[in-house]
Amino acid sequence: MFGFSIPKIIFTAAVIAAVWYGFKWLNRRQQVEAERAQADLNKGGAEAPDVEEMVPCPDCGAYVAKGGDHRCT
């Protein structure tokens, strides 16, 4: 007699298939969550306010907004 039977092989194949599809499903879920996290990150970056560049005035040394009108007192 053989050491294995057809039902055993079918059962083993079914278990392997279940594990395989389980891994595929988990990977897909992680990918979706990673994409969502990345989208949130991008959205947050777009909503972040622009920081105006400050430069020291060459005449008085006061830090003023670059391009802004400034008059030394």
Ranges within 37-66 binding Zn ion (CB under 5 A): 57, 59-60
Q: In angstroms, give the least distance from the CB of 51 to Zn ion.
A: 21
CB-based contacts of 71: which residues, under 8 Å, 6+ apart? none
User: Rule CB under 5 A: is residue 69 a binding residue for Zn ion?
Assistant: no
Tokens for 3?
């050491």
Q: Which is nearer to Zn ion, 50 or 59 (CB)?
A: 59
What helix, strand, coil percent values describe the chain, rounded to 5?
A: 60, 10, 35
Contact residues for Zn ion, defined by CB under 5 A: 57, 59-60, 72
